Structure 1
Amino acid sequence: MYYEVYIDVLFLINFMMDYLLLLIVRRVLKCTATHGNICVGSIFGAAAVCICMLLPVRSTLIRFLLFHLSVNAAMIWIGLKIRTLREFLKAFAALYASAFLLGGVFTWLQPYVRAGSLFFGAAVGSYYLVIGIWKFLLYLQRMNKYQYTVTVYTSGESCTIHALLDTGNSLCDPVTGKPVCILGKRQAGEILKEKELQTLRYIPYCSVGTEKGVLPVIRAEKMCIHTGQECWVEKPLIGICEEDSFTNGEYQMILNPAILGGV
């Protein structure tokens, strides 16, 4: 059994796929490489694959080292202009993750591709789908980064709730200048006692849909923000919102970034 391989077709397909992969990695890692750099890296990768195909090498291990380590490493170095080891390892991992996603999406589209010209269209369509997947994964990562478990202590009582660090929350007490976190109304009613209600006062605020308003604020005894380690805040200011929870019930508190030193 033998296979007939057209070297020009092999080169063109590999060039196109390498170019798309390097574009994806550049976008994910926000590299400064130009399209010219990526083009040169893709030409090198495609040419190296063609040369490796012509070499009389039967060892699976050697072919693996040539294809997956040497060629891809050089392609990243040339195409993305990455020089530090840390950035290289991130790019190498992103390249293989992108190749896995691109291959999966392209395999899903391949049954619908009947003509050679549609092959390239499917490849480009796969590129945009993979970019969308990466954006969604990075969004989930960012959301996870801003999620915390918070324990609020009031009059000897404590309550553990889910909180979201909102970079858009810059509410501060106009008198003391201290940051104000926002607690849902139902949760506030469960944990506030007479001692906290005696410290209740109102501060002005504005938000989307409310140009001018006032927000009831209390001073709790202390608050612990679990960030991998315990971050204690003494006498935190907590505003009581009319809503019971935020983002469809996922969180009961909105944290002010200033309470953790800013983001």
Structure 2
Amino acid sequence: MRSDGGALRPAEGGAAMTVVYIDSVFALNALADYLLVYAAAQLAGARLRRGRFLLAALLGGAYAAAVFLPGLGWLSLPPVKLSAGVLMALAAFGGEPRFLRLTLLLFAAACGFAGCVLALGLAAGQRVPMENGVFYTNVDARVLVISAAAAYLVLTVVFRAAARRRGCGGLLVPVTVAFQGRSAALTALCDTGNALRDPVTGRPVLVAAAERLNALWPPELAAELTPEALRAPSAVMERLAERSGARLRLLPYSAVGVESGLLLAVRLDWASVNGQRRERLLLALSPTPVGDGCDALWGGPEE
């Protein structure tokens, strides 16, 4: 171990020594790990808990640095690497409804990032220093930043574009809904089987669990738009019919294994679905939860 923060490792063939700077290893890998967990969360539409992402990145950086410490070479063994990745996933996504999906996306993002770094390093005519899958010492900062940006674009833009082409089925996406100066954040499941459409505009209707929308309603509506009250949507509609600000309508629906019925729907000021702002979107209120791990169902894209 060097006193200036570096560690010595024998190069292949034992002819020379490789200088590894622990602080550089920690910083580079922590940065890469933060981008990885952020990209995985974006892909899955999970909440962006940046504090937890930072904790996961610090754990990843600490693990990468520990690999080079004397007597800790066993940390680079595949089972230990796998365990370290799962620990990072727990730090970043523990408690999320789709933890397994997020963990798999994290590992996929790691593979994509490593491939981008190696490819761009070769294209630039530079050797990217790596040992046991860990970046170390004199990685060119430009190569690292460009590689990180390329990996992020591939994982978030290309994959999401492919998801939109197939109707984004199965993805969880972030949603924000706004009504009379109030807003609420939701997580919506892109459900290609949701064919509910606005009878006026023909656009998809966002269906959300009423219990997740308490913060959206002004006081005069909050007591009326409860899950219990919405089990009788026609009665709610009748009570609120004279309140012009409510902008309500009844939507007929049918589902497999469920009798047809009506849902009370509200015309929003606007909604943001996966980053796309939609003016005056219709929000249908479900008196029961709409699914496991999500607050709402989205049947987009629009025709």
TM-score, normalization by structure 1: 0.48
Instruction: Tell me which structure has the larger Cα radius of gyration.
Output: 1
Q: TM-score, normalised by structure 2?
A: 0.43
